[in-house]
Structure 1
Amino acid sequence: MAGAAARGAPARRRTGLAAAPVTWTLIAVTVAAYVAQWATRDTVPGVTEVLWYAGLYTSPFGLEPWRMATYALVHDLSGPTHLILNMLALWVIGRVLEPALGWWRFAALYVLSAVGGAVFALWVSDPLQPVVGASGAVYGMFAALFLVTRVRGGQVRSIAVLIGLNLVISFLLPGISWQVHVGGLITGAVVALVYSLAGGLRPGRASAPSAGAQAAGLVLVAALLAVLTVLGADRIGLDAVLR
């Protein structure tokens, strides 16, 4: 009888760390990386230089493609503002988006958005200009939050305004890689569209998500990013590296 009563009881809603484990893990790892950056700022190379990304690192002249994801772990050392703003956005959006998507879908969104930001930078930025920060992944979360909210019938005007204002700031202020922001935004929108087409955004049993279809869609997105990376790297000539 006790077992029957337990099965009939309403499920308790998870809160805090249990509700968004990937979000909290990303925050912890990124903050730890920032501490390591400061600890090695006077060494050559330090953690910052080991993890940042530039187009050079996906060219035949310096092939280290993992940097297309690791750059999202390191931030500007001129002050903590860069880190704080990104981690605040991750904390606010992640606690909403991760429970809505599920941990592995959220993790895939975050990583692919970061990589998408690097791919866009590869095509339109100076291949010798390094970029750092989780902004590409954060913009991917913005795009996914917009689509999730819209599909579920919520008001998206405030999200659209937030995205628009942040993009304007990205273009106007010096020292900000708008290329990473745009690339992350586009990639996040594509990933969220994959989830939507596979039935993973609308609540209700009739539109239960197909994990297999979503995983296949993510593989296709990753493959497309890989192709764009190869094509973009092929455009980097020796003259661009030696100038």
Structure 2
Amino acid sequence: MILDASKKAEQRALLEAELEAVGIRLNREPPNIYLKPKTAGGMKITFQTPPKNIDQKMVYNILRDYKILNCEVLVRDENVTVDDFIDVIMKDHRKYIKCLYVYNKIDSVSLDFLDKLAREDNTVVMSCELDLGIQDVVERCWSELRLIRVYTKRKGVDPDFGEALIVRNKSSIEDVCDQIHRSLKDTFKYALVWGASARHVPQRVGLGHVVADEDVVSIVSNWRA
């Protein structure tokens, strides 16, 4: 979320409220509530720990309002609220996603305010005008997305370090094969790996081997022309 540092908290609060209204929850985990509708048997409501913000009668009334008359409920978190419980009922219309707040125009605010902004959770600051902090934004996005680079190598040819496959952290050789071509794993024989994930170089591995950032991978297949 790109924000104007000179507008302080107002712009962020407005955007968060609009997203909240359409069911998008930023930087939050789903409520720790188990809810299983049933066809009969009435309501069974259990609290793992006595909650601070709701009670059994409130839960009962919420369920009735949503016409859930037969169900099993287990509330595991003592801090859940009425809104949390409604979110569980409306889970098909709720999305829990991570958000990185990027404040631009830091050259237009005081140093004290800039220091406060930079220390907030899930926040990075920059100035396009002065070309400050832009690389920090790139690196933070890379880190938050948990991406790694894998370089491929053909037999007898040096790897091209100018072009990498981009995969998620903890990806396997099978994921690397899928990135190259979906059918590659069908003829897969083994892979040779150089890099941090290899116990020795090169290490001969199977599809389940987990690669590390900047590994070099050579795929050997049974393909015949």
TM over 0.5: no
Larger % of strand: which?
Answer: 2
TM-score, normalised via structure 1 length? 0.23
- If the length of structure 2 is used for normalisation, what is the TM-score? 0.24
* Greater Rg by CA: 2
If asked which structure has higher relative contact order (CA below 8 Å, sep 6+), I would say 1
Q: Considering fraction of residues, name the structure with more helix.
A: 1
